[in-house]
Structure 1
Amino acid sequence: MAAPIDLELKKAFTELQVKMIDTQQKVKLADLQIDQLTRLQKHAKLTHTEITTLPDNTRLYEGVGRMFILQSKEEINNQLTDKQKTADEKIKELEQKKVYLERSVKEAEDNIREMLLSRRAQ
């Protein structure tokens, strides 16, 4: 009778281990994406503050691939604020995803703890 219990526990532990490894990789990926987006956001903010100090008649160019396109100051400011907003939204989504992943791992751990406690009680 001890063998089936051990097999069930072993199966549950292996599933938990696989889930933990997968979740840790997803969390690391989310952290990397958050770092990249915060750098992008910071770069856009710094560029925006520098552009606002320039006179209105300054010629501004936007880099597109290997060339530069003449843009108005207003268009560049709008693009930079859009970059900041989209980066902020993506960061919030990634943080929510991280919380969900961490919660799912915690629930799996709790389920295995309950299984162990119920086996010991028998």
Structure 2
Amino acid sequence: MKRIYEKSVISRKLSLDHPGIRLMFAFCIALVMVVASSGMSHAVPSYATSFKSTYPSSPLSSLSIVSGQPGNLCTVCHGPSGGSRNAYGSAYANAGHNFKNIESQDSDNDTFSNIIEINAGTFPGNAASKP
């Protein structure tokens, strides 16, 4: 009789009906979601759409807005593998997410203003990318 009791106690403790297990399960799910979303960078598709509508004739506007696709429009404000903002992305954020406000700046300090680089199809946040 004692073994049956021990077995039922063990199975009950491992059941999702136990409040502690449910709490731990919810915490693990939340942790996985936070970790998974942290690698998504801060790219926002509406910003890419805004870039395209602000600069429709820029060669950069022909880039895909699909995240994770090599050479996508996200790389205008982020590095080649996504992640943190580059200098242009930071300037855009600091300017209230208004591309026109930073056209005359040279975000990557390569001697070309952002608008010259945008019109030439080079990346205004990458000093190695010049018209």
TM range (shorter): 0.3 to 0.5
TM-score, length-scaled by structure 1: 0.35
Structure with bigger helix share is: 1
Tell me which of the two structures has the higher relative contact order, counting C-alpha pairs closer than 8 angstroms and 6 or more residues apart: 1
TM-score, length-scaled by structure 2: 0.33
